[in-house]
Amino acid sequence: MWSSIFTIAVCLSFAAFIAAENTNSNTGFAQVLKPRPNPTPYPYHPGKPHYPSPPRTKTCYVPARGGGLDDSQAIYSAFEACNNGGTVAFLESNYTIAQPLNLTFLNAVDVSIQGEISINPNVQYWVQHAFQYAYQGSSLFWQFGGKDVNFYGGGTINGNGQAWWNILPTNSSIIRPHLIGVIGLHGGSFSNLNLINPPNWFHFVANSSDLIFDDMHLTAISNNTNPAANSDGWDLYKSDSIVIQNSVVLNDDDCISFKPNATNIVVQNMHCTNSHGISVGSLGQYVGEVDVVENLYVYNATMVTTGDAARIKVYGGIPPNSTSLSSGGGTGIIRNVTYSTVIDQADNYAIELTQCYGQTNITACNLYPSGVVIEDVLFENFSGTSGAYAPIVGTLVCSSPSLCSNIVAKNINITNISGAEAEWVCTNVDDSSLAINCIT
Ligand SMILES: *[C@@H]1O[C@H](CO)[C@@H](O)[C@H](O)[C@H]1NC(C)=O
Ligand SMILES: *[C@@H]1O[C@H](CO)[C@@H](O)[C@H](O)[C@H]1NC(C)=O
Ligand SMILES: *[C@@H]1O[C@H](CO)[C@@H](O)[C@H](O)[C@H]1NC(C)=O
Ligand SMILES: *[C@@H]1O[C@H](CO)[C@@H](O)[C@H](O)[C@H]1NC(C)=O
Ligand SMILES: *[C@@H]1O[C@H](CO)[C@@H](O)[C@H](O)[C@H]1NC(C)=O
Ligand SMILES: *[C@@H]1O[C@H](CO)[C@@H](O)[C@H](O)[C@H]1NC(C)=O
Ligand SMILES: *[C@@H]1O[C@H](CO)[C@@H](O)[C@H](O)[C@H]1NC(C)=O
Ligand SMILES: *[C@@H]1O[C@H](CO)[C@@H](O)[C@H](O)[C@H]1NC(C)=O
Ligand SMILES: *[C@@H]1O[C@H](CO)[C@@H](O)[C@H](O)[C@H]1NC(C)=O
Ligand SMILES: *[C@@H]1O[C@H](CO)[C@@H](O)[C@H](O)[C@H]1NC(C)=O
Ligand SMILES: *[C@@H]1O[C@H](CO)[C@@H](O)[C@H](O)[C@H]1NC(C)=O
Ligand SMILES: *[C@@H]1O[C@H](CO)[C@@H](O)[C@H](O)[C@H]1NC(C)=O
């Protein structure tokens, strides 16, 4: 609003400029502050209403030091100053984060990232200082949590993953942080942002609820022969009521992965290239753990040259006296999962459902079946092409007929690029509800 008066409340060397209200006045920064968008789940929603964010009443403009100098202290100060009702504005093109940021105390904050935030690729430093979590050995540069936080602005967050990918060939155990840590965030959104080159996953979303990801652009491209590694778009863990929509992903691992206890999830209008697909799991990996994924609706995904398009991966069981605690033997359930309207373009498999993940010996998988049951799964309206494993275009393998129920496939029209008639592997699954050409 032009009626707003820009006032500098605080101006310390490390602090943000704070304006009393959102303002479009000339602040001396590279851009003017954009209004907050209002991402809305469409056409499907996860059931519960999204928490409505009230308008924000002040703005903290984060200064950039430039030249690769660390801005993390100014960033932390801006979040403190604009917590409880403000907007943190990143309007410059050259922010650097070189120290971990624990931003889990947030309440009612908007975050407009209009410039670029780059994560300093000081591998040796981060290996010692990143936040660590037990789940899949996750580590994070920064983490966001709290209530009602909206990220937007059209800007870029650059993970400088290349520095990490280059080390992998000589140290495969290097602990690589995920680019965005969303830990215990309830209510909020991420929209219209570009994320590039994460050392590991793009998003780790854990212990969170009621979030919308909209109009996100995720790109992982290596500039040499060391490929991008494990660049999953989103991993949702112990999280409920999450929407991911209208987004474009170019990566080398899962486009989206529904990990243990991801519930009431909607994914729609997605475009994924080169990924391992939109994947439930892997589940059942750890002895003694109970994994649940339920009420998942995936609608309208275009999958280009992916390994799989729709994927459900569950570990098998393990022999009674096995000493391995991390290659199957967990329990749980996958229930009420729909993949509707999937467009395949030269994918390897249009559908890959397995209850024998991590076990190539099917006899052993049948002998020690999975502890994770799968029920009420619908694959419908798939079209397009597959090719790498022609004539096979998909596989559905359960470890026992009693552990998979009501698996339905209908209106599936996947053709082989070669022209060979499409064939499907269907093992231990009731093929009377599968309108596909099962050859086994
Ligand atoms: C980068 O940071 C410096 C120091 O804050 C600033 O003067 C400059 O305008 C910024 N932008 C670019 C494009 O260098
Ligand atoms: C991060 O901050 C939260 C409070 O918001 C605190 O409970 C937690 O211990 C902090 N984590 C670390 C690793 O410092
Ligand atoms: C490749 O990426 C590294 C790390 O980000 C960067 O330093 C280097 O300039 C890039 N090389 C090319 C050719 O783009
Ligand atoms: C590999 O990286 C880890 C840290 O993630 C470190 O502890 C280990 O010493 C490194 N190994 C080598 C051979 O550099
Ligand atoms: C999630 O919450 C659990 C406690 O319920 C805690 O142990 C865990 O560290 C939290 N964060 C992650 C990433 O798992
Ligand atoms: C499917 O999503 C694409 C974006 O990926 C969009 O352009 C298209 O309109 C959507 N189609 C339907 C039927 O919703
Ligand atoms: C997942 O949910 C199940 C059922 O509520 C629970 O037993 C299990 O402990 C949860 N797992 C995690 C990692 O929280
Ligand atoms: C199945 O999940 C959808 C959302 O994906 C939800 O609308 C529906 O109520 C769920 N059905 C059952 C029986 O839980
Ligand atoms: C497992 O170990 C117990 C005790 O050592 C032994 O009695 C039993 O035969 C073993 N079972 C299998 C399947 O190897
Ligand atoms: C089936 O998929 C096509 C795209 O291949 C889409 O145009 C159409 O709307 C979908 N039909 C239904 C009923 O969702
Ligand atoms: C597969 O597993 C069965 C049952 O454990 C075992 O008898 C067989 O030798 C295994 N086959 C191979 C090729 O390892
Ligand atoms: C299946 O797709 C092919 C290739 O797009 C098309 O020619 C054919 O008519 C479709 N079949 C049905 C039954 O829709």
DSSP 332-345: EEEEEEEEEEEEEE
The three-state DSSP-derived secondary structure of 270-302 is: EEEECCCCEEEEEECCCCCCEEEEEEEEEEEEE
- Ligand 3 atom at shortest distance from the alpha carbon of 197: 5
Tell whether ligand 3 has an atom less than 6 A from the beta carbon of residue 325.
no
- Ligand 11 near 363 CB (within 6 A): yes
Predicted confidence band at 11 (pLDDT cuts at 50, 70, 90)? very low
20: confidence class by pLDDT, cuts 50, 70, 90? low
Q: Look at phi and psi of residue 401 and say left if phi exceeds 0, alpha if psi is from -120 to 50, else beta.
A: alpha
Q: What is the DSSP letter of 67?
A: T
Band (440; pLDDT cuts 50, 70, 90): confident
Residue 107: strand pairing partners: 147
Q: Which ligand is nearest to the CA of 303?
A: 6
260 C-beta closer than 6 A to ligand 7: yes
The torsion region of residue 356 among left (phi > 0), alpha (psi -120 to 50) and beta comes to: alpha
Of 45, 178, 203, 276, the catalytic one is 276
Tell me the average pLDDT across 4-27. Answer: 48
- Overall average pLDDT of the 8-23 stretch: 50
Average pLDDT, the chain: 94
Q: Is 364 in the pocket of ligand 11 (CB under 6 A)?
A: yes
**Residue 19, pLDDT above cutoff 90:** no
Which ligand has the minimum distance to the alpha carbon of residue 268? 6
For the segment 290-317, the average pLDDT, to the nearest whole number, is 98
The Å distance, Cα 379 to ligand 5 centre, comes to 32
Segment 247-254 mean pLDDT? 98
Task: Give mean pLDDT, residues 206-231.
Answer: 98
Nearest CA to ligand 3 atom 4: 162
For residue 172, how far is its CA from the centre of ligand 4 (angstroms)? Answer: 8
Range of weakest confidence among 21-25, 61-65, 82-86, 262-266: 21-25
pLDDT of residue 21: 54
Residue 286 CA to residue 305 CA, distance in Å, equals 31
Which ligand is in closest contact with the Cα of 381?
10
**Alpha carbon of 349 to ligand 11 centroid (Å):** 26
10 vs 423: which has the higher pLDDT: 423
Sort 207 into a burial class: Cβ within 10 Å, 0-12 / 13-18 / 19+. Answer: middle
Ligand 8, atom 2: nearest CA belongs to which residue?
295
Q: Closest ligand 2 atom, CA of 143?
A: 1
Q: Which ligand is nearest to the CA of 386?
A: 12
Higher pLDDT, 283 or 30: 283
131-146 per-position pLDDT tens digit:
999 999 999 999 999 9
Q: How far is the CA of 347 from the centre of ligand 3 (A)?
A: 30
Mean predicted confidence (pLDDT) in 320-334: 91
pLDDT at position 5: 33
**What pLDDT score was predicted for residue 321?**
85
pLDDT score of 16:
61
Cα(103) to centroid(ligand 2), Å: 8
Predicted local confidence at residue 171, as pLDDT: 97
β-pairing verdict for 116-119 and 139-140: unpaired
Signed CA dihedral, 69, 131, 150, 341: sign only: positive
Phi, psi (degrees; rounded to nearest 5) at 80: -65, -45
Residue with the nearest Cα to atom 8 of ligand 10?
341
**pLDDT score of 298 more than 80:** yes
261 pocket-lining for ligand 7 (C-beta < 6 Å):
yes
**Does the pLDDT of residue 86 top 80, yes or no?**
yes
In this predicted structure, what is the pLDDT of residue 323? 87
Q: Taking residues 104-110, what's their average pLDDT?
A: 98
C-alpha span between 273 and 250 (Å, rounded): 5
| Residue 65, ligand 6, Cβ within 6 A | no
Which fold does the domain 276-440 belong to in CATH? Pectate Lyase C-like (2.160.20)
The yes-or-no answer on residue 276 being catalytic is yes
Q: How confident is the model at residue 4 (pLDDT cuts 50, 70, 90)?
A: very low
CATH topology of domain 1-246: Pectate Lyase C-like (2.160.20)
Residues with CB under 6 A from ligand 5: 133, 135, 183, 206-207, 238
> Which range, 16-20, 103-107, 321-325, is most confident?
103-107
Q: What is the structure's pLDDT at 25?
A: 52
- Does pLDDT of 242 surpass 90? yes
- Ligand 5 center to 207 CA (angstroms): 6
DSSP state, 167? T
Report, as an integer, the average pLDDT of 253-264. Answer: 98
Using 50, 70 and 90 to split pLDDT, how confident is the model at 8?
A: very low
User: What pLDDT, on the 0 to 100 scale, is given for residue 194?
Assistant: 98
Closest residue by Cα to atom 4, ligand 5, is 207
Q: Give the distance (Å) from ligand 11 centre to CA of residue 363.
A: 6
Nearest-CA residue for atom 5 of ligand 4: 174
Pocket test for ligand 8, best of 336, 338, 406 (most atoms within 8 A of CB): 336
Q: Decide: 64 in ligand 1 pocket, CB within 6 A.
A: yes
Kindly report, residue by residue over 386-424, the tens digit of the pLDDT: 999 999 999 999 999 999 999 999 999 999 999 999 999
Average pLDDT over residues 34-40: 97
Confidence of residue 364 (pLDDT cuts 50, 70, 90): very high
Closest ligand 7 atom to 135 CA: 13
Quickly list DSSP for 401-420: GGGEEEEEEEEEEEEETT-P
Residues of the chain with CATH 2.160.20.10: 1-246, 276-440
Higher pLDDT, 18 or 108: 108
Please state the length of the chain.
Answer: 440
